[in-house]
């Protein structure tokens, strides 16, 4: 049987720095576990623009469609702020999501015990936290038409359109209910049905899918603003949160801080099943290219490493190996190994990105 295939798109800023640590782990699986992946690498984002004048070439897009999983670092940076909107680095990522039809974006927020003291919230609020935000990723205001900057009379008007079809809502709702069944069986759906028609439809369709197909799962609804408040107040009330593209973007950055750092949050973007029955998939940390620390060896690679663990679980059916990587991360944190973003006010000596990667490899060795 052919080796599982991976396309690595490390991207910009800290993207290549954190991805270098994942490559070490991929190498470790080859030498220590006899699990070899066929890895190819290519460009996305600003580096692709520099090389080809576009943030994603058609050839790279085609490769992404063919592999078993895409691993992405991060895209963007101030150097590219002046570019025309159509070729900005972020457009490359959005094209991947859209053309691969990756409608279900799982963003788990888990608070490791060793970091419970470190969150900006009180320890008992976050200790043991384990929730997943399921963010709709291919529709909503990110993609709705009409969009653009137009002239109306003697002034400019910027337009984006929040648009959701019934089937788009139903399919992401199903993925949230399926996930909840494998966890604590609770889904909270968030929208703004009090002010948006798309929110009214969202709530109706999620409820209908629930009543017809997932009546065994506990379903609640919240307005997204109140949901944000509840995420800060008592996040452990949640299990799975399902929400639209924009609310999911905001709520997941907020959830990141419950875990201690944006550098901790992985994600899986899943689409429809391919011929082998596995979903099309792209795995990436929730954070961006972090221009403020890029090139300094300060980035925390854990979000990217945990994204690879999600790939092992969802694309390669290697749940045990995924757990091995997650446990190695847990051990390293329990041993007090910290990148700079995980340093509290009391200070200490942070390790570099690559030292963190090496510590995870050592913990993987110890797991054998
Ligand atoms: P960001 O996530 O890049 O950074 C926000 C803050 O978090 C910064 O202070 C940064 O240093 C810190 N941070 C992020 N990741 C970290 C890590 N792994 N370790 C330690 N600290 C980390 O968000 P931003 O500054 O708003 O955006 C910068 C660029 O990244 C923009 O061009 C934006 O569009 C892009 N972006 C890309 C993605 C992606 O590729 N998926 C996601 C978000 C933002
Ligand atoms: C994310 C990012 C992206 C988004 C950007 C870079 C397109 O913020 O993945 O959370 O807004 O979806
Ligand atoms: Mn975001």
Q: Which of 210, 229, 258 is where one domain is finished?
A: 258
192 is catalytic: yes
Binding residues for substrate: 97, 107, 135, 225
Contact assessment for residue 164 and residue 244, using Cβ atoms and an 8 Å cutoff: yes
Q: How many structural domains comprise the chain? A: 2
| Those residues with Cβ within 8 angstroms of residue 205's Cβ, 6 or more apart along the chain or in another chain | 166, 169, 170, 173
Domain harbouring 355, CATH code: 3.40.718.10
101 is catalytic: no
- Asked if the ipTM is above 0.95, the reply is yes
Give residue for tokens 């969150």: 119
Catalytic one of 12, 68, 164, 192:
192
Q: Which atom of ligand 1 is nearest to the CA of 302?
A: 18
Q: Give me ligand 3 centre to Cα 282, in Å.
A: 15
Cis peptide before 73, with omega less than 30 degrees from 0? Answer: no
Contact assessment for residue 135 and residue 105, using Cβ atoms and an 8 Å cutoff: yes
**pLDDT number for residue 77:** 97
Coarse DSSP helix, strand, coil percentages of the chain, rounded to the nearest 5 percent: 45, 20, 35
Is 363 part of any domain?
yes
225 is catalytic: yes
Q: Is 290 in the pocket of ligand 1 (CB under 6 A)?
A: yes
Structural domain boundaries enclosing 308: 1-103+265-368
**pLDDT number for residue 117:** 87
List the pLDDT tens digit at each of the 368 positions of the chain: 789 999 999 999 999 999 999 999 999 999 999 999 999 999 999 999 999 999 999 999 999 999 999 999 999 999 999 999 999 999 999 999 999 999 999 999 999 999 998 888 999 999 999 999 999 999 999 999 999 999 999 999 999 999 999 999 999 999 999 999 999 999 999 999 999 999 999 999 999 999 999 999 999 999 999 999 999 999 999 999 999 999 999 999 999 889 989 999 999 999 998 888 889 999 999 999 999 999 999 999 999 999 999 999 999 999 999 999 999 999 999 999 999 999 877 778 999 999 999 999 999 999 99
Is 236 part of any domain?
yes
Q: Give me ligand 2 centre to Cα 138, in Å.
A: 12
Same domain, 351 and 291: yes
Q: Give me ligand 1 centre to Cα 184, in Å.
A: 31
Give the number of whichever ligand sits closest to the CA of residue 297.
Answer: 1
Give the number of whichever ligand sits closest to the CA of residue 74.
Answer: 1
């Amino acid at each position: 049987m052919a080796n599982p295939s991976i396309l690595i798109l490390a991207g910009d800023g800290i993207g290549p720095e954190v991805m270098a640590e994942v490559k070490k782990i991929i190498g470790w699986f080859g030498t220590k576990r006899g699990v070899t992946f066929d890895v190819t690498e290519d460009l996305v984002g600003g580096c692709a623009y520099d090389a080809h004048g576009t943030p994603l070439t058609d050839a790279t897009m085609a490769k992404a469609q063919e592999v078993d999983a895409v691993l992405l670092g991060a895209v963007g940076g101030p150097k590219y702020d002046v570019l025309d909107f159509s070729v900005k680095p972020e457009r490359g990522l959005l094209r991947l999501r859209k053309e691969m039809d990756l409608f279900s974006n799982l963003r788990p927020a888990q608070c490791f015990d060793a970091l419970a003291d470190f969150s900006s919230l009180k320890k008992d609020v976050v200790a043991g936290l384990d929730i997943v935000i399921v963010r709709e990723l291919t529709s909503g205001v990110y993609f709705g038409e009409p969009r653009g900057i137009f002239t109306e009379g003697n002034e400019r008007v910027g337009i984006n359109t929040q648009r959701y079809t019934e089937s788009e809502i139903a399919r992401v709702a199903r993925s949230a209910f399926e996930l909840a069944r494998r966890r604590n069986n609770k889904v909270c759906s968030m929208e703004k049905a009090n002010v948006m028609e798309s929110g009214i439809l969202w709530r109706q369709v999620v409820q209908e899918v629930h009543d017809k197909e997932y009546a065994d799962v506990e379903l609640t609804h919240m307005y997204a603003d109140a949901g944000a408040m509840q995420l800060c107040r008592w996040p452990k009330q949640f299990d799975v949160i399902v929400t639209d593209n924009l609310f999911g973007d905001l709520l997941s950055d907020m959830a990141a801080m419950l875990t201690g750092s944006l550098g901790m949050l992985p994600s899986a973007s899943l689409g429809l099943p391919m011929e082998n029955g596995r979903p099309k998939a792209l795995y990436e940390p929730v954070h961006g290219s972090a221009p403020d620390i890029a090139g300094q060896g300060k980035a925390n690679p854990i979000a990217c490493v945990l994204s690879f663990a999600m790939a092992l679980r969802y694309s390669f059916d290697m749940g045990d190996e995924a757990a091995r990587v997650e446990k190695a991360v847990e051990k390293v944190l329990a041993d007090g190994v910290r990148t700079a973003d995980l340093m509290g006010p009391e200070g200490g000596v942070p390790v570099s990105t690559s030292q963190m990667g090496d510590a995870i490899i050592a913990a993987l060795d110890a797991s054998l």
